Structure 1
Amino acid sequence: MKKTMKHTTPITKTLAAAGLAGILMISASGLPSAHVHAETKAAASTSQVTAPTVAPQRVTSKTLQSKEKWLETNIKIPVFQGLTDTKYQDQLNDIIESHASKDIAKWEQEATEAAANAQKNGYTMRPYQLTITYELTSDGKDDSLISLKVITEGIGMNNGDPRVDTYNFTNEAEAQRVTLEDLFGKDYKSIVDKAVKTAIAADQDHYFANEDGFQGIDAEQSFYVADGKAYIVFQKYSIAPGSTGIPEFAVKLPGKASDKKPAAAVLKPGAYYKDNNGKLMVQVSVLRQLQFNVKWSGKSKTTEISKGAVWSAVTLNKDAYTLGKMAPRSLGSAPVMKKGHVYVPLAFLTDVLNLKADQGKHGEITLTAGK
C-alpha cells in the first residue's frame, strides 16, 4: 500500500490534537475457523441480541475460490465503492485482491505439497483451510476517516496462522493515508507506548516479558479506528503466547465526541460461540472493558466479578449464577474454559448483571449498561 498511496498531508486538527483521553485493552482469543463462523451465524438469531440497524454501504463483498482440492476456502474480500477519489479506490481494491490472491497461491502450494507427502508416506491427508474476512470499522462519517481491517487465517498441519492487515485513509477528493501521528500528534509514540504498557501490566500473565515482550510501536504499526478509539494491533505470537490470540489495545482518540457516550464493550466474532445447549457463550473477560474487575482463581476454578457494590462469581462446570446475596439461578449452561478464556452464557451478562446486548452487521456484540 505504501508504494501507491503515500501520506502527504495530515488529517484535521481535531484528530491531530495530542493527548490521551484514556486506555482500554482487549485480548482477542484467536480468529474463527469455518466451523466457528457457522456457529456465530446461528448465534445471531438469538433473542438476547437486537438486530443491527442498516448503515450506508461503503463496501461490497467479493468471493474468491480455489480449484485446489486439498484447500478449502471461505474468502470474502472487501470492494470499496463510492469513494470520492476513484483512482485511490481502484488502487486499494487492486491491492486487497492481490494480497488475497497471493495468500491463495501460497496455501495451494503448501496443501499440494502436503498431499503429495501424505500419499508418499501412507498417512491420511486432511484438507488445508484458508479463511479471509473483513470489517469496516469506520465508514468515513467522522472526519472523513475510513478504517478497514482484513483478517486472514490459514490452517494446515499445525495451528492456525492468522494475520490482520489494516487500512486507514481519508475519503476526500485526494485521499490520504492516515497514521497514528495524524491521530495523536508528534508525541504519538510515547502516548501509545504508555497505553499499551499500562494495559499489559494489568494482565501480564497473558504476555511475554522482558526482551520477548512489547518493546514499543514503530512508524508502520498496524491499527484501525472504531467508535472514537484507535485499536493498536499486534500479530499473533509477536508479544504474547498463542493462547492470547491477536492482541488489540484500544486508545481513545483525543477530543472525540464519543468520549461522552456511555461505556461500551465489544465482543468480536471469535470471542463467543453457540454451545450444544443452544446458549450463546461469551468471554467473561469482556467485562473489563466496562471497568469490572475480573479475577481468576486457578485453585478454585472460579472467576470473581466486581464493580463498586456489584459482586458475583462463576465457577467452571457449575450452572449456578448469583449476584450479591441473591439465590443462585441456572442459565442452562455452566461456565467453561477454552484456550485460556472463561466463557459464560450471554444471559449472565444480560439477565444477571443487567447489561444490554446489541449485535452489529459484522457479528460483533456490543454490551452497554442496562436501564
Structure 2
Amino acid sequence: MNKVYKILITVLVVLEIVHICPQALLINLSRDAVENPKLVDKIIKKNLKFVNIDVDIPQIVGLINENGEKVINNEISDWTDSWINEVKETSEDLTPTIPYELNAKYTLTNNEAILSFYIDYYQFSGGAHGITTRKSYNIDIKSGKKIELKDLFKVGYDYKKNINELIQKEINKHPDYYFTGKEGFNGIKDNQSFYIKNNKIIIYFPYYEIAPYVAGMPEFEIPYDMQEFKEKIG
C-alpha cells in the first residue's frame, strides 16, 4: 500500500511541475531529440486583490547554444516579472476600485534559420482603454545569438535608406493616419523593432510613436530574401 501511495505522490508532483513549468521535462530530454528549437508555454495566472494576471510567455527549447538559450529565456522571464511587479506595486499604492488586468500572449512567426516571435503585453489600469507593449525576439538558430536588423544585410548596404523610403511611401498613401513633423516618422532606429514572417521583415512601431492610438500599432512589410541570410551564416 505504501509503495502504491509513493508512486501516486510522484505522479502528482510531476504533473504539477509540468503545469507550472511545462518546459521542465523538455529541457531534460536529449538535445538530439529536438530537431528544431521550439517554444513552450510558461504560464502565470493569478487573481490578486487589485490585479488579475493571465500571462502566457514562451521559453525556448532546443537551441544548440544552450547558454544562449538560457540567456534569452531569462531575459523574457525577467522582463515579464518586472512588468508584473511594477503594476502590482502601483495597484497596491492606488487601491483601484476595479482590478487592473495584465495579459500576455506570444506569436511564433518564423522557425527557419531565424527563430522569430513576439510577445504582446496588454495592460489595463483604468481610463478609456488599455495599452499593449510588443517585445520581439529574433535569434540565429545556429549561433543562438539575438539578431539586430543590420545583421540581415551585407556590410556596407544602406538598409536604413531603403527601408525608410519604403515606409515613407506607405505612409504617404494614408497621411491622415500618422503624426507629422518631429512627432511623425523620421526614420528607423539602430535598435529598430522587427520580426520575420513569410520571408518578409515586419517593421513595427509602438502605440503613439508615429501615429495616434486609433491607428493601432503600425506595421510595414519589407521584402527580404531569407536565402541571403542562410548563405551569410553558412
Into which bin does the TM-score normalised by the smaller protein fall? 0.7 to 0.9
What amino acid does structure 2 have at the position aligned with 1:211? K
User: In 1, distance between residues paired with 2:55 and 2:144?
Assistant: 27
> Which structure: greater helix fraction?
2
Aligned to 2:121: 152
What amino acid does structure 1 have at the position aligned with 2:159? Y
Task: Please tell me whether the aligned partners of residues 51 and 88 of structure 2 are also in contact (alpha carbons under 8 angstroms).
Answer: yes
User: In 2, distance between residues paired with 1:216 and 1:111?
Assistant: 37
Flag as ranges the 4+ runs of structure 1 deviating above 6 A. none
User: In 2, distance between residues paired with 1:155 and 1:233?
Assistant: 22
Aligned to 1:218: 189
Q: Secondary structure at the match of 2:63?
A: coil
Shift of 1:187: 0.9
Give the TM-score normalised by the residue count of structure 2.
Answer: 0.76
Task: Please tell me whether the aligned partners of residues 114 and 139 of structure 2 are also in contact (alpha carbons under 8 angstroms).
Answer: yes
User: Mind listing any 5+ residue stretches in structure 2 that lack a counterpart?
Assistant: 1-35, 229-234
Trace 1:78-157 onto structure 2 (pairs within 5 A).
Answer: 78-115=58-95, 125-139=97-111, 141=112, 144-157=113-126
What amino acid does structure 2 have at the position aligned with 1:84? I
What amino acid does structure 2 have at the position aligned with 1:105? N
Query: RMSD between aligned alpha carbons?
Result: 1.8
Corresponding residue to 1:191 among 137, 149, 162: 162
Task: Please tell me whether the aligned partners of residues 184 and 253 of structure 1 are also in contact (alpha carbons under 8 angstroms).
Answer: no
Same amino acid, percent of matched pairs: 26
User: Mind listing any 5+ residue stretches in structure 1 that lack a counterpart?
Assistant: 1-55, 119-124, 258-371
Trace 1:1-371 onto structure 2 (pairs within 5 A).
Answer: 58-66=38-46, 68-115=48-95, 125-139=97-111, 141=112, 144-158=113-127, 159-172=129-142, 174-185=143-154, 186-254=157-225
**Higher RCO (CA-CA < 8 Å; seq separation 6+):** 1
What amino acid does structure 1 have at the position aligned with 2:41? S
Aligned to 2:31: none
What amino acid does structure 1 have at the position aligned with 2:152? L
User: In 2, distance between residues paired with 1:169 and 1:148?
Assistant: 9
Task: Please tell me whether the aligned partners of residues 119 and 135 of structure 2 are also in contact (alpha carbons under 8 angstroms).
Answer: yes
| Count of paired positions | 190
What amino acid does structure 2 have at the position aligned with 1:194? E
